[in-house]
């Protein structure tokens, strides 16, 4: 008989712990819903939320608004991510520009980006443009800093080898820079994606007539808490799925 891998027991233990924590969370929610400690319907039962979620999943309006939010987030990530990547390469590849400009990114990075939303409205109007701009500004900073760190972590030996083979600029980028920077850049994209989702949804909740953020605020305004929680669940599922796709694409998936 072949012996079981040593990692099998810890793996089973991890999965059991995850399932147990999820069950405890659901049980705690149901107990709180039935306790009467809060105002009625502030914490609906799981069955009520499940019914609202089922109603969402058969609603064409929900899918149309989900498509709006997804398209805005992807556009924001493409714009903010590409600008952030190019900025990070410049900062990481040039000591002069890094020392001169990188402190501004560090200082502005933690700033709540929602304070820029009035400016985005004046520049891009109340349509999708201002939401995309908010998401782009939000994801720019982590991607720029990650790309700069990735540039600095490239082994100088790899650069010398590439130059010894007389590789041109685009060849150096394709064969040396990008492969070496991949872990840092993909981690930055993961962070940037999450922040782009937050920035876009915040903008949708402030001034919009479409998108998941708008639907959440609409449900809140009429005190339809089951629908609001159902929308939040779909939002969590979207964020988790998008993060999993980025992790798999970048080869960053961890052992479960």
Residue 83 pLDDT:
94
> What digits encode the pLDDT tens for the residues 113-171?
888 888 888 899 888 899 999 999 999 999 999 888 888 887 777 767 766 766 666 76
Calpha distance 178→184 (Å, rounded): 10
> What digits encode the pLDDT tens for the residues 157-175?
776 776 676 666 676 666 6
Calpha distance 217→225 (Å, rounded): 11
User: What percent of the residues of the chain are helix, what percent strand, and what percent coil, each to the nearest 5?
Assistant: 80, 0, 20
Instruction: For residue 55, count other CB atoms closer than 10 A to its CB.
Output: 13
Residue 172 pLDDT:
67
Instruction: Tell me if residue 38 falls in helix, strand or coil.
Output: coil
**CA dist 172 → 77, 162, 250 (Å):** 25, 6, 20
Domain positions in the chain:
59-246
Banded pLDDT at 30 (limits 50, 70, 90)? confident
Instruction: Tell me if residue 111 falls in helix, strand or coil.
Output: coil
pTM attached to this predicted model: 0.80
**Of the listed ranges 90-104, 191-205, 241-255, the one predicted with least confidence:** 241-255
Mean predicted lDDT score pLDDT of the chain: 83
Residue 174 pLDDT:
66
Superfamily (CATH) of domain 59-246: MetI-like (1.10.3720.10)
């Amino acid at each position: 008989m072949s012996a079981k891998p040593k990692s099998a027991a810890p793996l089973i233990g991890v999965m059991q712990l995850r399932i147990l924590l999820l069950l405890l969370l659901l049980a705690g929610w149901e107990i709180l819903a039935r306790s009467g400690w809060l105002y009625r319907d502030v914490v609906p039962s799981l069955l009520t939320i499940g019914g609202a979620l089922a109603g969402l999943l058969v609603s064409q309006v929900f899918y149309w608004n989900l498509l709006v939010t997804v398209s805005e987030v992807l556009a924001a990530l493409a714009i903010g991510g590409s600008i952030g990547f190019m900025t990070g390469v410049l900062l990481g590849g040039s000591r002069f520009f890094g020392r001169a400009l990188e402190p501004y990114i560090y200082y502005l990075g933690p700033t709540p980006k929602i304070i820029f939303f009035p400016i985005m409205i004046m520049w891009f109007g109340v349509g999708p443009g201002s939401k995309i701009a908010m998401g782009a500004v939000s994801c720019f900073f982590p991607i720029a800093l990650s790309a700069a760190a990735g540039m600095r972590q490239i082994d100088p030996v790899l650069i010398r080898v590439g130059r010894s083979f007389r590789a041109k600029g685009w060849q150096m980028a394709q064969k040396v820079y990008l492969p070496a920077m991949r872990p840092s850049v993909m981690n930055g994209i993961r962070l940037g994606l999450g922040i782009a989702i937050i920035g876009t949804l915040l903008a949708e909740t402030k001034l919009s007539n479409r998108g998941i953020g708008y639907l959440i605020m609409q449900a809140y305004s009429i005190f339809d808490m089951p629908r609001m929680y159902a929308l939040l669940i779909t939002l969590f599922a979207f964020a988790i799925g998008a993060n999993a796709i980025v992790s798999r694409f970048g080869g960053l998936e961890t052992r479960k």
